[in-house]
Structure formats: structure tokens, C-alpha cells
Structure 1
């Protein structure tokens, strides 16, 4: 493609301006830059709208979770037996304190049924999941000698079973333990947080023999 010839010196101002507009590289670059900026405006508006919708969606999810409970982590069951042990304080004095021996079940079976439930918040849909869990396990009689603790130090009558629940707000029905054929209502809280930070527990008196 041949470049356009320059207008003669006798050409009018408008002719020379028209020739410059058609041949100026700088002008073409400026026009392209303006077009790019114009195209960026709707892109920025779209990104802003997406961020706003994401924030609103997260707020809706947080609102529902605050009422129904968040993600649940279930731990255990754990059998815990308190025992007395001697420790020295900073001054070298010996004190008797309570520690805990924890035991996991020899076998564990978990059965569950999960049911989805939908909640609407504005234009957003938040999915909830209701789960009914049944945990079955068997424990062997704890061996005092295996832990290197004096048999007389164990407080067998203060033993307890515990199940960890990360968010107690999400519990809708009462939790029950069935121990040796007997149903025992679980109580909120765990006497020891060595293994499980939060959850429910129930006392289980063990024989020293």
C-alpha cells in the first residue's frame, strides 16, 4: 500500500488537516488508546458487580450459619479416666494434681443420614445439611499397668465418655449415650480438653477390678 502523497503547498488548511488526520501515526495510537479505555470501563463495572455479589453472598451464608451452626467436626468417642499424679511447683514443693488417661475404641462404626435443606436470603440460596449420626464402638478395660501409673491412683468412679463437637450451636436434638445397654443423657462440655476441645460427655463408673 502506497503512502498518501503530501498535499501541495497551495492546498487549503482543511486539506492539510484532513491529510494529517489520515496519515498521523500518533493520532491512530491516541484513538486506539481511547477505545481501550472505553472498553475497560464496562469491564471494571462488571468486576465491581461480581465482587459486590460475592460479598453479599458471603454475608448471607454467614448469617444463616450464625443461626444454624457452621461446619461440624465430630471426634471420638473417647473414654477418659482421671488419676492423681505428683508434680513439683516452681518452689520445689510436691503437689497432687489430676491428670487424665484417654482411650480410643478398639472398633468404631459410624452410620449417618444427611438431608439437604435450602434457605433463601434475597437472591441467594444457602444450602444446609442436617445429619443424624450413630457412633458404635467397644472399649477394652483400660490397663493401669500399661500406662505406668500406680493402680491406686486411678479414679475409676469418675471416668467419662466424650464425643467432640466443633460447633454446639448446630446441635438440634439431645445427644444420648448407650453404655452397656443403658441410655445416658450427654451433658454439654468435657471435663478434660486434652483430646477434644469441645463437645459432650457422660459419666461412666468403672470397676477397679
Structure 2
């Protein structure tokens, strides 16, 4: 039987490698606890940001959906009930414009409260076109109350209205009133009574509407015109076109975006005119969201999910160095290196709240790489090996940074990267001969 002095370095690893791998494996599993704590902190910070964001946006104006303008005229039906009494029933005719042209320029703005930021906008909107009511059937069946005709414009949140609204019909300015007289179709907005008129049946009624409105995240319109054309421009370069219709043409670059829509009454789910509230016009809304593809909290959380992979790969680097250089690394030293890797994700989140994600990633990764390589120099006292450790860990952080910048191809790139890493590990491990 061999004594301790007779056991060679190679024999030592043959007898103890399995035990060491088992202990390191348990240590890595235990490190999931601080990793999960870091993820919880990131989620908590993101929720705090969302709460502050909500409070800020409530005072600025919510997501806006501009619906209209719609011409609404009441009709009075007279009938005799079962008891022989004369009754009157009042209904509203909802008339959509023959043409609707919308030109909108969205001006984004970043608002701050402490370290938290929110994206809001002010939109300058011009609407023009004309109505041509066809009311022959209503005139035969009921009394059309032309002198009570109104033009209604639906606005999700009236608090967002900025300054004066210029609303004119046939070049005659109208007096704007808050709220909606008829709420069959919309609940919030503004209205304007037409001038005293005898009839507008089969007459062309031109309109022009100019106003500014503030909102958050999204601006939507409704294709109420028989022919609706809409042009939206902005300096925001991350638009998300949403709703029932997509733009026919669009341009997106570093200077912003522009989008052009053309929609007819055949594309939507409601007719040109009707009475009552039988149709939901909001099913046909369209527009744009000021999309933030990956905020720093989302990126920090995504990076933290790769934490266990970083710990495993870094541990393998040190383990292979032990096998080749025959230099003992204590379990405590493995633990300290792994904790430094966990600390990276916490530092990254804290810095990203102040200097942005990209700069935070650079600063945090440089700090942790410097810490680990300096510690490796003290442990191994071998410059060549330390350079290898620094280079490999730098490659890991670079790979993760590139992965976080990808959106559509992140999953594919991650799998390709992991395949290459596994192939390298297999190649290196094949050179380890233990008997």
C-alpha cells in the first residue's frame, strides 16, 4: 500500500478530482441563492421605477387615442305606445367623414424624478377633410334636429390638451366645449356645436382641426374617414407600429421615423353612418408606440440570468489550470472568485441607474476582471497563466455584452456561442489523462 509520500501529483488528482468536482458543484448550487437575491433586487428596482413612472405620467397625460372628428345629429322619433299615449324617442346619428387627412408630428421628451426616467411626448396634430351626410331616410321616418348638430372629437385623456384648439367648418371657427354631449361611441373628448342651420343633408361640410396634445408611450388614431390618410413623423428612432393597420410606407433611421397610412371604409368594422351604439369603433385603431426595446433593468436582469453560466465557466478555467500546472487552489479561493462574479451583476444594476447600461457594463466588467486577474496573480504567481485567465474572462464578458445588444437573434447567437464554448471545453478536457 502506497504511503502519502509515494503518491504522485498525478495519482493525487486521480483520487481526489471527483471529490473536488462534487464539492465545487455543491458550492455553485449554493451560489444560486445570492444570484437570485440580485435578480430580486433588479425586479424590485424596476417595479419602483414603474411606480414612479406611473405617477409622473398620470400628471402628464396617458396613452392617447384620437377618434374623429364625427358629425352627430339627433333625430326625434314620435310613436304611440300600447296605452295610446304619444311618446318621443331621441337617438343620435353618427356620421363619419368622407375624407380624413391626419398629419402628426410627435415630439418625445425624457422626464426625470431622482434617478428614474420616463418617456413622454407632445404631438402636433392637423386634421382636415369633409362630410357629406345622406339623411333622406331619416327625414322620412323622423324629425332630424339639425339645429342641435355637433362635431365630436374623442380624446382618451383631456388633461393632455395643450393650448388652444382651432376647429373650423367651411372656414368658420367653432366654439369648443369640453366633454361629449353624445357618449354612444366615446366617453371623453371635446365637442363643437355647428352654427344655426336648417339642413345639411347632401351638403359638403369641410372641416379643419389643429391642436397639440401630450401623452405617454402610445398615440393612436381611428380610420373614421371613408378615405383616411395619415402621416406620422417623429425624432424617436425606436417606433413600434401597433393596432389594426400597419403603415404602407415607413422610414426609420437615427434621425427618427416617418410612416404613411392609407385606409378605406372597406378595411374597418363599422359603416359610414348609423344610430345608437351598435359598433365598437376602437377595434380599428392604429398608430405608434414609442417603444423602448431594452431598458437597463431588463438588460441587467437578462445578464443576471447568465450568472450561473459565468460561475461554471470561470470555475472550469481555474480547475483546468490546477490540472495542468499542478497548483492547488483552495475551495475558499474558488468561492471568493465566484462571489466576485455575482457582485458584478449588482454593481452593473446600480451603475446603470446613473450612467446608462453600456457604460455601466464596461465599468463593472473592467472592475471585476481586474479584481479576478489580480487575485489570480497572487494565487498562481505565473504571469502567463494570469494573462490567459484575464483574456478568457474578458472574452466571456464581451460575449455576454454582444448577446445583450441582440434582440431578434439573441437566442440563436447564445446557442451558437454555448456550442463553441462546449466544444472548446471538450477539446481541452480530452488532453487530461488520469489513471
Deviations 1:188-208 (A, max 9, x none): 111111122210000014323
CA contact (8 A) 1:110 1:135 kept: yes
CA contact (8 A) 1:175 1:185 kept: no
Deviations 1:104-138 (A, max 9, x none): 11111111221111211222221111011111010
Q: CA deviation at 1:175?
A: 2.0
Equivalent position SS for 1:73: strand
The change in CA–CA distance for 1:190 and 1:45 in structure 2 (over 3 A counts) is same
CA distance in 2, matches of 1:57, 1:92: 65
Please identify, of 105-114 and 34-43, the stretch whose mean Cα deviation from structure 2 is larger.
34-43
Deviations 1:121-168 (A, max 9, x none): 22222111101111101011x23224x453661100000001110111
The change in CA–CA distance for 1:33 and 1:157 in structure 2 (over 3 A counts) is same
1:107 aligns with 2:90: no
| 1:35 alignment partner, one of 27, 38, 43 | 27
CA distance in 2, matches of 1:132, 1:189: 21
CA distance in 2, matches of 1:40, 1:114: 45
| 1:192 alignment partner, one of 182, 185, 194 | 182
Return the structure number with greater relative CO, CA threshold 8 A, min gap 6: 1
Number of aligned residue pairs? 190
The structure in which a higher percent of residues are strand is 1
| 1:144 alignment partner, one of 125, 135, 155 | 135
Equivalent position SS for 1:108: strand
Structure 1 unmatched runs, 5+:
8-21
Q: CA deviation at 1:49?
A: 1.3
1:120 aligns with 2:112: yes
What is the root-mean-square deviation of aligned Cα atoms in Å?
A: 3.1
Deviations 1:3-61 (A, max 9, x none): xx7x9xxxxxxxxxxxxxx67x8x77973563134211221112111111210111121
Which residue of structure 1 lines up, in the alignment, with residue 73 of structure 2? 81
CA distance in 1, matches of 2:79, 2:46: 54
CA distance in 1, matches of 2:83, 2:102: 49
Please identify, of 31-40 and 69-78, the stretch whose mean Cα deviation from structure 2 is larger.
31-40
Structure 2 unmatched runs, 5+:
3-14, 201-435
Please identify, of 89-98 and 48-57, the stretch whose mean Cα deviation from structure 2 is larger.
89-98
Equivalent position SS for 1:173: strand
Q: What is the TM-score of this pair, normalised by structure 2?
A: 0.39
1:177 aligns with 2:162: no
CA contact (8 A) 2:78 2:142 kept: no
Q: What is the TM-score of this pair, normalised by structure 1?
A: 0.78
1:163 aligns with 2:144: no
The structure in which a higher percent of residues are helix is 2
The change in CA–CA distance for 1:151 and 1:45 in structure 2 (over 3 A counts) is same
Which residue of structure 2 lines up, in the alignment, with residue 70 of structure 1? 62
